[in-house]
Each structure stands twice: as C-alpha cells, then as structure tokens.
C-alpha cells in the first residue's frame, strides 16, 4: 500500500512545512498554509503500463550529439511563435504558457495545434475548461475546422495519459489549463499547489519518456495571484507569458525562461475576428497613429531580442499644483525615469522640480532597455519647452549619472530599421554616428545630456521655450 504522508503547503508560494503555522516564512503571507495528504510524497501519476527508465542508467556526455539549440524541433508554422520558442517545440520539452484569462492563450494554442496537425504531426488538445464541442466550434470559427487535431475535454491526468499512450505517440499535447488538472497521486482539490505540481510532474514525465512536446496553460491574474502556475515554473523547460492590454488589440508573447533558446525574443500578434494574426513588422503598428507635430514625443529605436523595434515615447511636463510633484510612468521603469530626471536637472540645467511628469510608451508597449534614456530625456525636454522633435528623427543612448551619453549594443540594427521606416536623422551616442551614416541617416551625435538640450532647441523653429501656463520666470530650461 502506498505510504501516506502529511505536509503543510503554502498555497501562495508553494513552500513546504512539517507542521501548520499561521504565517508563511517564505513569502510572508498569512493563513495561506493548508494541510495536504499525499499517498506517496514523491508520487507522480504514470500511464498504466507505461515504460519506465531503468534506475541508475547513465550515459556519457560525449556520446550526446548536438547542442540544445539544435535539438529536434516541431515548427508550428506560426513564425512569431517559433521565434519565441527558438525555432519550434523541442521534442520532449514542456512549456508553461502563462497569461491573464481572456488574453488569447486557448486561441493561440488551437491555432498552433491545427498547424502542426496539418503538417502531419499527431496533435492533441485537452481542455479542462471547455467542452470538446466548444473547442471545435472555436476552431471552426477560426477556419481551422479541417485540421486533424484530436480534441478531448478531460481533467483526470491518469485518463489523459492513458489516452495519449494509445496509438502513435503524440508530437504535440496542449493541456488547457494546468489549474483544472487533478491526479490520484495526491489528495487535494484541483487548483491547489499540491495538485498542480503533481499533475505537472506526471505530464512532464510523459513528455520526457515519449518525446511529445507538451504545452501547459496557466492562468495568472494581474498581480500574479494564483500561485498554481508559479510553482511549476522551475519544473518546465520554458516559461512563456502572453501579455496584452485589454484596450489594445495586439498581444505580445515573451519567453521568460527557455532552456532551448533565447529569452529576449518576443512575438507580436493582433487579435482579430480570425483569431490571432502575426504582426511581422511591429514598428509600423506601434508608430501607427502618430502625431509628430506635438511636443513631448520622441521615437526610440529599441531592440527586442534580435529584432529592432521603433516605439514612440510620450511625455507630458506641466507645472505642478501640489507640494510634491507627481511622477507617473507607464511602460518603463519608474526608478529609471527618476534617474533621467535627476541627470537632466543636475547636468543638463533643466529644472523639473516644480513640474508634474507623466511618461507613456505608446500602444501599451513595455520597454526594459536603458538605451531608451536619451529618447525619454528628449521627450521630457520637448514637452517642457513645447518644442516638437522633428518627425523624421529617432533616438537611442544610455545616459550615465555624469550626464555622458553612453553607447548601446546593436546600433547598426536599430539604425537600419529606422532608415527602412523612413526616418532621416538620428540623435545617437558618438560611437554610433558612423553606423548612422552607413544606414543612410544624418547623424547628430550627442556627447552629453546638455548637447541633447541644445539639439532640441536648435533643431526647432522657435528660439525660446514656451511653457504652458507659465511665464518667463518659470522657464524650466535655463542654459540655452
């Protein structure tokens, strides 16, 4: 008979304790620890009659051929998805796809399963949330009704593994979602940390022994509240997050962890009536509805992984009515903005202490590179002085605390993309000036932050700044 063990598991972070306590020491959460009885502490479900690897079997390292990057892969035929996985689903790998409910995870995965099935690979879609009929209806609405995907509505892991083990081994298995799965191996309600982990273990073991690629869907709320998917992150080969803004149509697929590829790649999709459509040229999308005649906007030539991406940075600087000015930022790091403001003030002679500052990255996009510093500074100065930056200008460069503009990686790729999109001039660190010329752009090298302030003033039609609601005494830019 299986050994029964009792443990106490934090439902918020997955920490395991020998006895109950009121507060989890690992995550600090109160009343999150629940008792869970397991039939065997290390039990994970296995398919009945499934083959097991012999214990203690070892293989020499030099006997393995190839690197993880050229592992056998199953391409999905969705280029933006393959870009993020690193060229397709690796045999025997398990991917966790996280995202808020309604973002489009099921839509993306039924499209992927249909594409692999049409390419001749056995693809199975297991839904624990919708009936098989509902999944089929959705596929038909997406024009994928003819794809030979096997659909099932099931939540019991042992039954799923038995179904998968019958017939030719599947190449791709979608589990939608891991929170709905449960196994006999542990006694806990579906959706609890214990069940999610045990169910994931069983499915991962199946992937490793049969070579099927498995995608586990995991719902995550805005503040990452449901702990379920978090606790399997370390068990899977890749973690992807599907992000987007309810008010925008586009969705971004990001690799958070990837044992078989780069983690800085993103895939961009647009949600339409025909499901998710790939966006091969996201810069055009992000710059789409741009009004270049207003002050306070700057186009940043950024990189997302190996792909250059131009995005508009918007700033609004207004005199404050409060004792402590407001600083609000969407799409960028708040601390980084505080640093740019401080450097502008200390090294650029731009006084912002009496101004509220709002910053936004257009289209709901999120930037993480410090290379955006220069474009952010430009948007701020432009808004403060009410001097628009010429529409054909793009910028990038990291700003150091000393006020120097530092070089950033991959300048030629950024500049080529800018030239391709019709930009004519680049405000860049000195080192990138040559690359700008080679890309066919007019280079305006910027050595220090003060040079940037002068460039914006010099390149604009008006000689003196005009600040909304302020007289000359309020002029925030004083050394030009």
Minimum CB distance to ligand TYD smaller for 103 or for 357: 103
- Which one, of 360, 385, 364, lies nearest residue 375 by Cα? 360
141-200 positions binding ligand TYD, by CB under 6 A: 142
- Residue choice 45, 170, 244, 275 for contact with ligand TYD (CB under 6 A): 275
C-alpha 479 chain-centroid distance: 41
* Total interface residues for ligand TYD by CB under 6 A: 14
- 3 state SS of 419: helix
**Of the candidate residues 18, 247, 273, 293, the single one contacting ligand TYD (CB under 6 A):** 273
Contacts to ligand TYD from residues 50-69, by CB under 6 A? none
DSSP character for 4? Answer: P
Nearer to ligand TYD, 43 or 78 (CB): 78
For 380, half-sphere exposure in the C-beta direction (CA atoms, 13 angstrom radius) is: 34
444 touches 426 (CB < 8 A): yes
**Tokens encoding 444:** 């305006």
Chain Cα centroid distance, residue 404: 31
Q: What is the dihedral of CA 122, 126, 131, 135, to 10 degrees?
A: -50
Stretch that binds ligand TYD, among 50-58, 98-106, 146-154, 332-340 (CB under 6 A): 98-106
Q: Does 103 bind ligand TYD (CB under 6 A)?
A: yes
State which of positions 320-339 bind ligand TYD (CB under 6 A): none
Residue 177 is given by DSSP the state: -
Query: Which stretch, 99-107, 259-267, 332-340, 428-436, contacts Mg ion (CB under 5 A)?
Result: 99-107
Q: Of 104-133, which residues contact Mg ion (CB under 5 A)?
A: 106
Nearer to ligand TYD, 218 or 397 (CB): 218
The distance of closest approach from Cβ of residue 154 to ligand TYD in the complex, given in angstroms and rounded to an integer, is 17
**Which of 104, 191, 302, 445: binder of ligand TYD (CB under 6 A)?**
104
C-beta closer to Mg ion: residue 138 or 327: 138
- Least distance to ligand TYD, CB of residue 129, Å: 8
Angstrom distances, CA of residue 332 to CA of 88, 362, 373: 30, 11, 10
State how far the Cα of 174 lies from the Cα of 159, in Å rounded to an integer.
Answer: 15
Smallest CA-to-CA distance from 123 within 148, 155, 99 is with 148
Largest CA distance in the chain: 87
Q: Which does 183 bind (CB under 5 to 8 A by kind): ligand TYD, Mg ion, none?
A: none
Decide which of Mg ion, ligand TYD, none touches 14; Cβ closer than 5 to 8 Å per partner kind.
Answer: none
Residue 474: Cβ within 10 Å count: 14
Out of 73, 105, 171, 416, point to the residue binding ligand TYD (CB under 6 A): 105
Q: Which is nearer to ligand TYD, 111 or 195 (CB)?
A: 111
By CB under 6 A, is residue 107 in contact with ligand TYD? yes
Distant-in-sequence contacts of 415-418, Cβ < 8 A, 24+ apart = 415/301, 415/439, 415/441, 416/308, 417/283, 417/301, 417/308, 417/309, 417/310, 418/299, 418/301, 418/308, 418/310, 418/394
The partner in contact with residue 102, picked from ligand TYD, Mg ion, none with C-beta cut-offs of 5 to 8 angstroms by kind, is ligand TYD
Q: In the set 102, 133, 148, 288, which binds ligand TYD (CB under 6 A)?
A: 102
Distance CA(154)–CA(152), nearest Å, equals 6
Least CB distance from residue 282 to ligand TYD, whole Å? 19
Nearer to Mg ion by C-beta: 106 or 297? 106
Q: Does 282 bind ligand TYD (CB under 6 A)?
A: no
b/e 212-233 (16+ beta carbons within 10 angstroms → b) = bbbbbbbbbeeeeebbbbbbbb
Closest distance to Mg ion from the beta carbon of 129 (Å) = 6
Q: Angle at the Cα of 353 (from 347 to 354), degrees rounded to 5?
A: 140
Given ligand TYD, Mg ion, none, residue 101, with its beta carbon under 5 to 8 Å by kind, binds: ligand TYD
Instruction: List interacting residues with ligand TYD (CB under 6 A).
Output: 99, 101-107, 138, 142, 271, 273-275
């Amino acid at each position: 008979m299986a050994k029964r063990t009792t443990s106490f598991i934090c439902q918020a972070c997955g920490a395991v304790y020998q006895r109950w306590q009121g507060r989890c020491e690992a995550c600090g959460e109160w009343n999150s620890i629940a008792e869970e009885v397991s039939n065997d502490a290390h039990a994970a479900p296995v398919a009945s009659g499934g083959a097991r690897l012999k214990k203690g079997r070892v293989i020499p390292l030099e006997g393995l051929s190839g690197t993880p990057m050229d592992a056998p892969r199953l391409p999905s035929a969705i280029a933006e998805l393959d870009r993020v996985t690193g060229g397709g689903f690796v045999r025997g790998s398990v991917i966790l796809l996280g995202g808020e409910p309604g973002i489009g995870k099921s839509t993306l995965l039924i499209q992927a399963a249909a594409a692999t099935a049409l390419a001749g690979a056995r693809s199975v879609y297991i839904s624990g949330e919708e009936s098989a009929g509902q999944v089929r209806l959705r596929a038909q609405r997406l024009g994928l009704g003819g794809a030979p995907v096997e659909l099932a509505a099931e939540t019991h892991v042992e039954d799923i593994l038995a179904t998968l083990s019958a017939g030719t081994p599947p190449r791709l298995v979608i589990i939608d979602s891991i929170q709905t799965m449960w196994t006999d191996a542990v006694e806990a309600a579906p959706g609890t940390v214990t069940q999610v982990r045990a169910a994931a273990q069983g499915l991962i073991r199946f992937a490793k022994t049969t070579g099927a690629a498995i995608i586990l869907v995991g719902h995550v709320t805005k503040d990452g509240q449901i702990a379920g998917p978090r606790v399997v992150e370390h068990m899977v080969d890749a973690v992807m997050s599907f992000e987007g803004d309810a008010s925008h149509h586009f969705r971004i697929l990001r690799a958070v962890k990837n044992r078989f590829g780069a983690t800085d790649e993103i895939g961009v999709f647009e949600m339409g009536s025909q499901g998710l459509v790939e966006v091969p040229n996201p810069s055009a999308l992000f710059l789409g509805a741009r009004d270049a005649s207003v002050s306070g906007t700057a186009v940043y030539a950024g990189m997302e992984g190996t792909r250059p991406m131009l995005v508009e940075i918007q700033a609004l600087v207004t005199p404050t009515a409060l004792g402590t000015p407001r600083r609000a930022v969407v799409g960028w790091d708040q601390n980084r903005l505080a640093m740019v403001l401080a450097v502008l003030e200390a090294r650029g002679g731009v006084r912002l202490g009496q101004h509220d500052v709002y910053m936004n990255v257009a289209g709901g996009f999120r930037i993480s590179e410090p290379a955006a510093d220069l474009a952010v500074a430009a948007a701020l100065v432009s808004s403060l002085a009410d001097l628009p930056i010429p529409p054909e200008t793009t910028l990038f460069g990291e700003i150091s605390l000393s006020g120097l503009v530092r070089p950033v990686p991959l300048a030629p790729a950024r500049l080529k993309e800018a030239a391709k999109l019709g930009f004519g001039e680049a405000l860049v660190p000195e080192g990138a000036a040559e690359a700008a010329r080679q890309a066919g752009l007019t280079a305006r090298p910027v050595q220090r932050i003060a040079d940037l302030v002068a460039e914006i003033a010099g390149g604009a039609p008006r000689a003196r700044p005009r600040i909304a609601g302020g007289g000359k005494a309020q002029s925030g830019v004083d050394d030009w």
